[in-house]
Structure formats: structure tokens, C-alpha cells
A and B are shown apart, each in its own frame.
Chain A
Amino acid sequence: MAPFIPSESYIIVAKWLIIFPIKKGQRLIINHSKYGLIIKTVAVVDKNGFVWSRGESKGSITIEEIGPVEKRQILGRVISVFKPEVY
């Protein structure tokens, strides 16, 4: 299965969208303390407001490995993806 965001893709990120509530399924740019700048899909927002996210690939780091993310670590929401021509 081809990745949703293959290597060498360009993405457009809207920083202002994070003022709205974060919901399951949204793709976010996260500034992670261990993994750096990563794109992940929201799996769940827990009752304490922490965001738990997942990757799209079998090889992605797991929800548990990513851990809970605070809203201040979220830099923006992905609104467009431009993939290289081979896809």
C-alpha cells in the first residue's frame, strides 16, 4: 500500500486552524521532544486535553511510543498534500 504522504511530498500547513478544537482524524504537525517535527493523525483527544496520535503506515511509531502531546506542541494542521509525480 502506498503511503498517504510519500517521501519528497510538499504539504501546506495552516497554523491558525489550531485555535479550533482538535478532532480525531485530523493530520497535525507536532513538535515532538524525541522525534522532532512529525506529521501524525489524531487518534483520540483524552479527557485531559492531551492528543494521542498515530502514523498511517505499518512501520510508523506507535501511539504509545509517540505518547500524549500537549496543544502547545501542535504547530498546525495539514490542509493540502502535493505528492511527487510517480504517485
Chain B
Amino acid sequence: MIYKILNKLDSNKPFNQVSAHCDIPCKIYDPISAQLAVLTMIRMVDLLNELQRSVNFHLEQQATFNRLVGEKEIHGKKVKEEISIIWGDYFKHPQLEAYPELHGLTHEIMLATSFAKQHINRDKTVLLLEKVNQFSEIFWRSKGIPVYRAKSPYPPSEVLVYPDLKA
């Protein structure tokens, strides 16, 4: 009630404004960063599996192996960070009520990302992508924007959820 009174006063005679959370409340959120991070993890798994099939595993292959594992790890952390930011900062009470599965899905993504980081397992990483796609779909639907699914035009050519901005 006090908020409503203050809001009424503010609309009649605007108060001074100060910046707090984030300092730049840019309102720019997009799950594509998380989706691309999972795509990168899948690509790293594919390249690691190719490396495993190499007859020789000399110093150069060892260096490549380290780099691929390192990149998979970095992008795994990125998935968790991007999903956490949207879940914690973008979604508000009305959207959480409209999509009650969101909390459970976010937790599943965290667990699936940990597994994908710890292992070189393509099937499980693709399963992670599907969960992140579901998250993306909820995000766009919460904005009233329809979505469609299409294969990414670059390796590993997996299906991503995209917003249909022309609709």
C-alpha cells in the first residue's frame, strides 16, 4: 500500500532517481548465449571423439586434447551463468506463476551441465541442449513471441529454438 501511495506521489511530482542493481538496467536478456554454449560443448565432444580415433597421440594431439577439454569446461560454466542470470534477473512472479515448471527445469539444466562438463558424452550433452531449448521456449513465450525450431547452420548442426520475430 505504501508503494502505491509513493507511486501516486511520484506520478504527480517526480522524485529524484538513483541507480542501484546492475547500475545499468539494460533489460537485455537472450538465451541464445546459453544455447550456443551448449552447441560448443557438443562440438568439443565431437572433436574429442575424433581425436580418440587418431592412431598416434603425440605431443601435438595432447595439446589439442587439453584445449578441447578446456573449452568444453569454459562453455559449461557459461551455460550455468547465462541460465542463472535469466532465471534470477529476468523472470518475475507473474511469469513464474504462468510457467511453474521453470524452477525444476533450471535445476535440471544445472545438473545436466555438470554431467556434460565431467564426461565426454554426446548423448547427454544433446539432452542438455534440449533442456536449454525448453528454457529458451519458455523465455520467448513469456514475452509473447512465438518460436520455431531449426538446425543450426554450422557444426554440430543440432536443433535450436529461435524466436520468430517476424510473426
Contacts and interface: CB of A to CB of B under 8 A. Distances in A.
Contact of A6 (B15, B17, B21): B21
A26 interface: no
Interface residues of B, number: 22
Given A82-B3, A86-B92, A38 B19 contact: yes
Nearest to B10: A10
Main secondary structure of the interface of A (DSSP, over half): loop
Interface residues of A, number: 29
Contact of B22 (A1, A3, A36, A85): A3
Contacts, number: 64
Contact of A86 (B17, B25, B93): B93
Interface in A1-37: 1-7, 9-11, 29, 35-37
B139 to A, nearest CB: 17
Given A59-B23, A61-B23, 14 more contacts: A4-B20, A4-B21, A10-B3, A10-B7, A11-B18, A37-B16, A39-B19, A39-B20, A55-B22, A55-B23, A57-B21, A58-B85, A86-B94, A87-B93
Interface of A: 1-7, 9-11, 29, 35-39, 55-61, 82-87
Interface of B: 2-3, 6-7, 10, 15-25, 85, 88-89, 92-94
